[in-house]
A and B are shown apart, each in its own frame.
Chain A
């Protein structure tokens, strides 16, 4: 952590950077008490806003308003009902659902399910409305009647009737009859986070009660509302675990590097104030946190930590040189003011470019970090020097070992700069070859690691019963009331049968199934009539009778639209990657286009929207990344005041992302949404080292009149250790995000850490070679 430079070079460099900041330094010292008090007051007021922060529980929060797949999904939900659900998965330990006791338990849970807030229907074995003929009449009634005694014969009869019903098997009950589900369908009227909390609390309470009463039945809890909750929980957990973990990591690094309680305490205080102020400001703005932006405090801490250390070390150095604390602080301000501002600017540009992403949580993460960087920057140049000027700082004698070591490294690099550059230039394409090996997976269930009961329970259901992922179509008919057209029904039936033959497809339900069952029941349960009604009139009139007979909540409005011109085909999938979801959705669309073009419909559903999200965001972020690179490079051009330097800087800063992706592909890593933003995000960070190096190099060339070789050696000797230390600290900080149990955050952390560490290497192996190659003929 010791950015140790001989005093003269540091001072000279400082002069090169000053813009009248000498006066500013003394200003801060004169007004230090008001600054301290005012800062504490402002931060206190701001941080009150933290109380107002909430987490957004919405599985769809990652979809922007312009996402075409989302628009399709919304339109479909408006047409039918905006349904979500809570699924209780029941696995009796005796391995058989069909016992009197188990059926009674299922019915009990079904009844309780009707008490769920915002429930519209409970689907279960015992509430399923079976269609049968009763003499010449139609009977619509549950297979299970609590008033009838459950004799072994009756139970056997129920089993037989349930297991032959295509609508139930592999959706409500497993083919083996050992697992079943109670599916509580819910429509949230206001779509508020409070509704999710209310529903989840009810469901968990119900589950606990059930488990206590029925220890012989294993109960798992999943469904759409639980997924919503998991998204909010992910952000909260990141906030609660990553924040303290990051604080501990930083404290350890600080203590190890500085060996001073004062320095450690001051740095931690300033970092703490920054995070509190940022979160508070967000709270006051009424922003809702989400699964991705929950990681932002940890990111802010990581980024800002390096700035603090930089400033503290430079104060300590100046104190050792000047012997006066106040003077040391003033000089440190002068040296650091402009670099800090430039560094903050490039970081902010990188993070703000996340707004090009179509996923609001990522944009919000970017905006929060940007706000945090501004807060941090202000604190480093006001509050921190004011406070440091009041406290005793450790006395340091210049440590020669580090300096000697870095100068050996520098000499080594200068001698072999050609080989190193060529080596690096060969490694880049070599690693890039592996980029296509990267597999994108945005199955949203897998965003959560197995610490989340939601993931574990959902996988249990996928393995034993049915999938949470699915593809849905709203298939249009010829016009109003067209769903009873026999031709339409025939195509629906064919479509469903085709889907049933595809891999990963567990269950398909269509409106045609309803008509088949109805036809059979209207014809005395004759299996020969397990086909579609022959005429449109028959179908329409059967349907009328059926609807009238269905109890409340069981109506068809969830699968048939109001004008009776469209109906829903839903395909349940299990154990699929998002690529398979896209493939199956595309195949379905292609089937319709080829076999029933008049009834064509787009595939939709939550899983489908997620399956497209990464590619869509990569496409959008290409522009964001380009602009981020462009603006950051412009800032660098202005800072370095040299076109050549600016262009040279592009290479060691752009290649690390490609190399990191290649390395990730080589290691067989899967990626998700996070990959779309890391390049843009880290660009503003990795350039900092280059700014540092190039400005010192230029200064050595122009002011000290050194040859390129000597200037490179000089620069590496004096900036090398600082670059290594700040890169390692940043790398560790981002790697810590890898511990997040939310995959998007974790991947973002790991990839960023990789990019930052690779950037550190390119700084040493590519930049010197490039400078020595392209700065040859330059006159000083």
Chain B
């Protein structure tokens, strides 16, 4: 038993150490190139809306479902604007979360509470808290702003779950101290820069979560969107599956619609 335990620790520490060493030796220039290329591939979508459904699951198999609509608007001069409006559970129906991402400063966030018919600004700078009790944090859901991270390229290898393709393994290191993560390791398709997998490491450097992506579909002949995202928490054994549907890149979303004063008015 002890031998086994030691062996496990050894593998674990060796694993971590080799990752850490690799991260040390990672190519920063190449890492940034990949991140920029990924952004270039995603740019130009304009706006879109989609329906999301989260299925929360614990170790015992108990589940709970949350459904919402999301609208997103691309901004050329700053970070994107995103709104998430809840459909179920019924007691949070109409609750909407609006985020204005910024490349140079902290994001702005507002929450519309239908029970009070009021908009509350979220003053805490944290984006790392649990999103509606799920294993996703807000920071996991929305795209990241390149300026707020360092990148380091590690290696190329067959994509997890699709060995026909080659993936760039790139490390993303958040600059902000209040991020929930010390680093994220992402597997990006070398061809069209789709994300296959992300490993999340906590502040201590231990891997806490893994997100995998599935069912990619192409929109407007250019933009890949995953219709399945599965987040597993390795510490608690809980998981959340996100299912996306009804992507709409055609109906335009205006900037005014995604202002705090417009919340709850449609």
Residues in A lying within 8 Å of B, measured CB to CB: 52-54, 75, 78-79, 81, 114-120, 134, 136-141, 187, 189-190, 192-195, 198, 286, 288, 480-481, 484, 522, 535-542, 544-545, 547-557, 560-564
Contact = CB atoms under 8 A, between A and B. Distances in A.
Contacts of A548: 97, 111, 122, 129-132, 138
Contacts of A286: 1
Interface of B: 1-6, 8-9, 56-60, 62-64, 86, 89, 91-92, 95, 97, 111, 113-116, 118, 120-124, 126, 128-133, 137-138, 178, 180, 202-204, 206, 234-238
Specify which of B57, B60, B114, B137 lies most central, judged by the most chain A CB atoms within 10 Å of its CB.
Answer: B60
Contacts of A536: 91
Nearest to A566: B62
Given A194-B2, A537-B114, A556-B133, A545 B59 contact: no
Contacts of A187: 235-236
A343 to B, nearest CB: 34
Given A140-B124, A557-B238, A544 B60 contact: no
A560 B137 CA distance: 17
Contacts of B92: 537, 540-541, 544
B38 to A, nearest CB: 25
A78 B91 contact: no
B60 A79 contact: yes
Contacts of A116: 204
B132 A547 contact: yes
A79 B236 CA distance: 10
A307 B204 CA distance: 58
Given A549-B126, A552-B137, A552-B202, 7 more contacts: A134-B123, A195-B5, A540-B89, A544-B111, A548-B132, A550-B126, A564-B133
Contact of B91 (A537, A553, A555, A560): A537
A120 B180 CA distance: 12
Nearest to A539: B91
B5 A192 contact: yes
Contacts of A537: 91-92, 114-115
B51 to A, nearest CB: 19
Contacts of A539: 91
A134 B237 CA distance: 36
A137 B128 contact: no
B8 A79 contact: no
A549 B132 contact: no
A557 B130 contact: yes
Contacts of A81: 235-236
A474 B4 CA distance: 35
A561 B1 contact: no
A148 to B, nearest CB: 15
B129 A555 contact: yes
12 contacts: A78-B60, A134-B123, A192-B4, A288-B1, A522-B116, A541-B116, A547-B130, A548-B97, A548-B138, A551-B129, A551-B180, A552-B129
A192 B115 contact: no
Nearest to A533: B115
A54 B2 contact: yes
A555 B134 CA distance: 10
A134 to B, nearest CB: 6
A480 B89 contact: yes
Nearest to A134: B123
A119 B111 CA distance: 31
A544 B120 contact: no
Contacts of B63: 562-563
A194 B8 contact: yes
B62 A541 contact: no
Contacts of B129: 547-552, 554-555
Which of B2, B92, B118 has the most chain A CB atoms inside 10 A of its CB?
B2
A640 B169 CA distance: 79
Given A481-B91, A541-B113, A557-B133, A562 B62 contact: yes
B17 to A, nearest CB: 15
Contacts of B178: 551
A545 B120 contact: yes
Nearest to A554: B129
B203 A549 contact: no
B99 to A, nearest CB: 11
Given A548-B97, A551-B180, A141 B2 contact: no
Contacts of A557: 130, 133, 236, 238
A193 B237 CA distance: 20
With most chain A CB atoms within 10 A of its CB, the pick from B5, B57, B63 is B5
Contacts of B132: 544, 547-548
B217 to A, nearest CB: 29
A604 to B, nearest CB: 15
A141 B237 CA distance: 28
A192 B6 CA distance: 10
A116 B206 CA distance: 10
A288 B238 CA distance: 30
Contacts of B115: 535, 537-538, 540-541
A79 B202 CA distance: 23
A586 B65 CA distance: 35
B52 to A, nearest CB: 15
B58 A193 contact: no
B64 A563 contact: yes
Given A52-B3, A187-B235, A480 B113 contact: no
Contacts of A141: 124
Contacts of B133: 547, 555-557, 560, 562, 564
Contacts of A194: 2, 5-6, 8-9
A214 to B, nearest CB: 23
Nearest to B236: A81
B265 to A, nearest CB: 17
Contacts of B86: 544
Ordered nearest first, which 6 A-B pairs have the shortest CB separation?
Answer: A194-B5, A552-B180, A540-B91, A537-B115, A562-B58, A563-B64
Nearest to A111: B203
A344 to B, nearest CB: 29
Contact of B111 (A193, A545, A563): A545
Contact of A79 (B5, B62, B124, B138): B62
A139 B62 contact: no
B8 A190 contact: yes
Contacts of B9: 194, 198
B8 A564 contact: no
A32 to B, nearest CB: 38
B122 A79 contact: no
A540 B203 CA distance: 30
A624 B137 CA distance: 54
Contacts of B234: 189
Contact of B128 (A75, A117, A551): A551
Contact of B58 (A53, A78, A134, A553): A78
A481 B89 contact: yes
A37 B128 CA distance: 68
Contacts of B204: 114-117, 119
A134 B121 CA distance: 10
A541 B111 CA distance: 10
A190 B234 CA distance: 10
A139 B95 contact: no
